[in-house]
């Protein structure tokens, strides 16, 4: 109960505030009672942040590290802030189906001035127009579909590189560092995985011997594994998430594949290490600064101390995204217009990268690093150039 009481409270307050604010629309009452109003020291009070993405449902596993990463940023801010900022969870279950009604609700709550999310590209596409119309700035820690930035929504930002930035880097690594003669490209038919696999396939050209597409949620990949072993490929690239990667890499090794398994940031999760020996030697590319950097190491420690588990996929990105908004709030920003301006002009060091956005909302500077699974750990190798 202790662990959950915080979110219950947040939801209860959000419900009250939501009810009040949908009813009166423009005035900022923010009346949640628990906050001290007035806020000296220049920081804004009576404002809120929100997470938009899956908290329940089949994708909840990907949502959790994002929520916790953002929560960590919030807790650190609140620890020495005059008035506490809270975060509401808009639980979309990761489905674009729920997104419009939730986004409309978020848009109607004027005290809400920043959104960490939406987590997936699908819900981003469905909710994006609403946030743009409401002028509510969003920073996604995980939506990678390149097309999202081309909609002309000035509120759209993301702190991770889209498929088009990471794909070529992975292709470079496979061609140059691994000197692959034959690469087999697999994707999971998700927006993220398929987009990435396409970029890698294009980048590698003739080196790609064959491709195959599995379906997210499947667990038996024997036909794919058989194809890989028959193709005599020396490298497999997988575009997808760790849930399938863990099973896939085991089944590939069982079927006799003894080359290098390469995947991207969707797989750079402690859960991938579940594959044990089969994961050894796998290479993961990620547009995230390795934890040899003291800032990053500090984040990793704080996260593990707070939640009792190592930081999962996109937790650090969510932490960065929340910190952008929190920095704005610390400067006294209490409305969406100024916040949007602040986010657009932001340029600070985050734990995953130097956080700054170009005019489309893409991170302006993306460095992709390679990591290798060695001795049951994900060890940084260096930047891919």
Q: What is the SS3 assignment for 381?
A: strand
Minimum Å gap between C-beta 105 and another protein is 4
Residue with tokens 């080359």: 259
225 vs 384 by CB, closer to another protein: 225
Query: Which among 5-13, 71-79, 176-184, 362-370 is the span making contact with another protein, rule CB under 8 A?
Result: 5-13
User: 6-25: which residues touch another protein (CB under 8 A)?
Assistant: 7-8, 11-12, 14-16, 18-20, 22-25
User: 336-355: which residues touch another protein (CB under 8 A)?
Assistant: none
> In angstroms, rounded to a whole number, what is the distance separating the alpha carbons of residues 259 and 123?
36
Give the alpha-carbon dihedral of 333, 337, 339, 340, to 10 degrees: -170
Residues 6+ apart with CB under 8 A from 116: 49, 50, 51, 52, 66, 70, 87, 138, 139, 140, 141, 318, 321, 322, 325
> In angstroms, rounded to a whole number, what is the distance separating the alpha carbons of residues 203 and 221?
25
Q: Which residue of 46, 110, 191, 265 would you call a contact of another protein, by CB under 8 A?
A: 191
353 vs 360 by CB, closer to another protein: 360
User: 216-235: which residues touch another protein (CB under 8 A)?
Assistant: 217-224, 226-227, 230
Minimum Å gap between C-beta 306 and another protein is 14
Q: Which residue of 78, 177, 213, 344 would you call a contact of another protein, by CB under 8 A?
A: 213
Minimum Å gap between C-beta 332 and another protein is 25
Told to check if 212 binds another protein by CB under 8 A, we report: yes
Told to check if 111 binds another protein by CB under 8 A, we report: no
Minimum Å gap between C-beta 304 and another protein is 12
Q: In sequence order, which ranges of the chain are alpha helices (DSSP H)?
A: 2-24, 60-79, 99-108, 121-134, 163-172, 191-204, 222-231, 242-254, 294-307, 315-330, 336-344
220 vs 377 by CB, closer to another protein: 220
User: 258-287: which residues touch another protein (CB under 8 A)?
Assistant: 271, 274-278
Told to check if 247 binds another protein by CB under 8 A, we report: yes
Size, binding site for another protein by CB under 8 A: 91
Told to check if 134 binds another protein by CB under 8 A, we report: yes
Q: Which residue of 178, 182, 189, 300 would you call a contact of another protein, by CB under 8 A?
A: 189
Query: What are 115's two structure tokens?
Result: 């959104």
Query: Which among 184-192, 291-299, 337-345, 349-357 is the span making contact with another protein, rule CB under 8 A?
Result: 184-192
Tell me the CA distances in angstroms from 350 to 72, 117, 353, 354, 355, one per residue in order: 14, 17, 5, 6, 6
Minimum Å gap between C-beta 186 and another protein is 8
Minimum Å gap between C-beta 32 and another protein is 13
User: 67-106: which residues touch another protein (CB under 8 A)?
Assistant: 88-91, 94-98, 100-102, 104-105
Told to check if 297 binds another protein by CB under 8 A, we report: no
Minimum Å gap between C-beta 154 and another protein is 14
Of residues 95, 22, 84, 28, the one with CA closest to residue 60: 95
Q: Which residue of 113, 126, 139, 185 would you call a contact of another protein, by CB under 8 A?
A: 126
Specify whether the CB–CB gap between 70 and 134 falls below 8 A.
no
Query: Which among 253-261, 285-293, 315-323, 339-347 is the span making contact with another protein, rule CB under 8 A?
Result: 253-261
Handedness of CA 320, 321, 322, 326 (dihedral sign): positive
222 vs 364 by CB, closer to another protein: 222
First to last CA, the chain: 48
Specify whether the CB–CB gap between 329 and 47 falls below 8 A.
yes
Strand partners, 370: 285, 382
Minimum Å gap between C-beta 214 and another protein is 5
Other C-beta atoms closer than 10 Å to the C-beta of 76 total 17
């Amino acid at each position: 109960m202790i662990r959950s009481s915080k979110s219950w409270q947040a939801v209860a307050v959000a419900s009250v505030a939501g009810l009040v604010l949908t009813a009166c629309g423009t005035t900022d009452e923010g009346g949640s009672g628990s906050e001290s109003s007035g806020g000296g020291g220049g920081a804004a009070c009576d404002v809120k942040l929100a997470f938009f993405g899956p908290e329940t449902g089949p994708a909840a596993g990907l949502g959790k590290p994002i929520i916790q990463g953002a929560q960590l940023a919030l807790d650190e801010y609140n620890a020495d802030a005059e008035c506490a900022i809270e975060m509401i969870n808009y639980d979309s279950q990761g489905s674009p189906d729920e997104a419009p009604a939730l986004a409309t609700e978020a848009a109607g709550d004027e005290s809400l001035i920043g959104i960490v999310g939406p987590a997936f590209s699908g819900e981003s596409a469905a909710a994006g127009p609403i946030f743009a119309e409401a002028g509510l700035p969003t920073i996604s820690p995980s939506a990678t579909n390149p097309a999202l930035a081309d909609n002309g929504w000035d509120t759209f930002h993301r702190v991770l590189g889209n498929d088009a930035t990471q794909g070529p880097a992975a292709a470079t690594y496979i061609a140059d560092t691994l000197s692959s003669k034959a690469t087999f490209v697999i994707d999971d038919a998700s927006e993220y995985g398929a987009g990435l696999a396409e970029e890698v396939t294009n980048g590698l050209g003739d080196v790609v011997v064959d491709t195959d597409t599995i379906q997210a949620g499947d667990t038996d990949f024997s036909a794919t594994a058989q194809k890989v072993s028959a193709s005599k490929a020396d490298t497999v690239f997988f575009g997808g998430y760790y849930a399938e990667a863990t099973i896939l890499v085991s089944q590939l090794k069982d079927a006799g594949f003894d080359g290098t398994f390469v995947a991207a940031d969707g797989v750079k999760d402690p859960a991938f290490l579940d594959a044990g020996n089969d994961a050894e030697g796998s290479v993961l590319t990620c547009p995230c600064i390795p934890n040899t950097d003291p800032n990053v190491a500090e984040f990793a420690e704080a996260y593990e101390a707070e939640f009792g588990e190592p930081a999962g996929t996109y937790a650090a990105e969510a932490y960065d995204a929340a910190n952008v908004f929190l920095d704005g709030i610390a400067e006294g920003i209490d409305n969406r217009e100024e916040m949007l301006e602040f986010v657009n002009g932001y340029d600070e060091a985050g734990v995953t990268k130097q956080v700054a956005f170009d005019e489309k909302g893409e991170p302006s500077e993306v460095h992709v690093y390679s990591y290798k699974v060695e001795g049951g750990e994900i060890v940084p190798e260096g930047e891919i150039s």
